[in-house]
Structure 1
Amino acid sequence: MVNKTISLKRLIGWVGWAVLTIALTGCQGPTQTSGNPAIRKSSTPPSYMLSVNDLGSRLGLSVATAGNPYYELKNASNRVLLFMYENGKVYVNGDSVASVGPVVDVNGTYYVSEILLSQIRPYLQSGQSTWTPTPQPSPTPWTPRTGAGRVVIDPGHGGKDPGAISYLGHYEKDIVLQISRRLASILQRRGVEVIMTRRDDTFIELEERAAIANRAEADLFVSIHADSHNDRVHQGFTVYVARSASDTSRQVGRSLENTLSRIGIPSKGLRSADYRVLVQTRCPAVLVETGFLSNPNEAAMLLDGGYQERIASAIAEGIINAL
């Protein structure tokens, strides 16, 4: 998020919400939400279900993380996330492939439908190498034009300003720094000169971020953030430009929206907002909210290195296509 600090009220809201979540999902018996699969308790598992441990074993995966809100199954080549709540999804190597369906709690052991075996197995990668994201089509080779090859990447927040706090307790400032580093590396390999407003966990005033771009006479300023909302169902990326943005800023924004949409991230569109880092930079400027940390699915995805690489690659392609 682009707010500079988190107010006490907001912190209290998060804590209160977290406590409420624990109370509803852990301390009390699970309840059935109408129309949605939800965890229910039973003394014996239904015949068509198997434990999450057995599911992983039959897929050649071991349980790396167990419990609410998700199970993580892994081997050397694959990572599977199963979100154990209503409308929970199944992710394989960064891609949503199925709904987890009904979940049954038998004395603390979670059981899921055996059909997940056939839904997950086709997406697993063979071999022993560490998983890497599906290669994206390489954009047309690009040679920086005169005056169009210097990009300032601005990882939002930092230091005393953590930004948004994810459903799993991770900080926006750390996630966007990781994505920004990946983006910088990709652009540099493509011959683009890159300047980063911060390379570590440092607090930098908003005005100074814009000043860095102005002093460098940058050709483009790209601020990287992650969003948050009180309603955890919100998901997807958003690209912002200033209300008085130049045609070039809007062109870059449309290009980023296009390339991010192509890798399957829901788009909330190209929007206008007078954030200081957009208004005070003299060069074309955009701000990208890469996803919602308040959404359990997206929060977990944004922590994944492979998913971060996909986002960074899409942003890099959008930049190169527009310049």
Structure 2
Amino acid sequence: MENKDTYAIGQAGVKWGSAEKTQWLALQNVKRSYADDVLSQLDALGNQFDIKEYANLDYVSGSFPLFVLRNLNWDPSKPNVLVTGGVHGYETSGVHGALRFAATASQDFQDRFNLLIVPCVSPWAYETINRWNPNAVDPNRSFCINSPAPESAALINLVSGLEFLMHIDLHETTDTDNSEFRPALGARDAVEHKEWAIPDGFYAVGDTLKPCHEFQKAIIESVEKVTHIAPADESGRLIGETLQQKGVINYATKALGLCAGLTNAQFVSTTEVYPDSPKVDAENCIQAQVAAVTGALDYVSTLLS
């Protein structure tokens, strides 16, 4: 279905310039606190993780320290695993799912893996409930050389020189993708974006070049113990992409500059939770993210034994 509404900023058919981006930024406001919701949880994790500030984002609206959690018994002989959340700051359960995993289930895996957990890649977007950063740049299309997003560049720098066996990136697909973020994208880039049917339920996104069928299946089987899996639409697709198996589609992660393409990990997945479903609440969405991480790690663990 086409989105025929005209976005409030800019002129149809004309890409945004600095004036339009400034106008967009002026409309954004703080809706929640990164310090209260995220940073406040880090102290309690200090007995399990080495917690370091890996960068600081300086924006006109303020400074945002970025933190990484690294398990205390880091062992170069163990495989490295990367867990990221909040690349899109508005996708709440990605942030809190990463934090919940760190606080609970991570203890079951620290003897087998080196865990690197970045719970909130985009704190300004977390506070303003946004997909973009203040410069109207999408961090999850900016994991590339000379990244235009400081959030993405900081994470690229953090993992530089490290090899990872697995990377799972925690996301959501929300109703606001159609009502706000895709219309804004169309206006910014002067292109037409059709609305897509928002999948009701959890799904996973694999890497087109290394889809890892059994790995994705293990994630789905773990998650469906706590919440429902999104069915395909009438054309057998999810958000316009062909269904590869139950609850799984694939994207070209590196070509698109996605966070899931950040490393050369053998096992890669992006989770997608649907928080607007009448079948779930915020707690269930967090549980789904944790189940995705643990399902992924359980599967990779079997290959190491």
State which structure, 1 or 2, has the greater radius of gyration over its C-alpha atoms. Answer: 1
* TM-score, normalization by structure 1: 0.42
Q: TM-score, normalised by structure 2?
A: 0.45
- Tell which has more relative contact order, 1 or 2 (C-alpha 8 A, sep 6+): 2
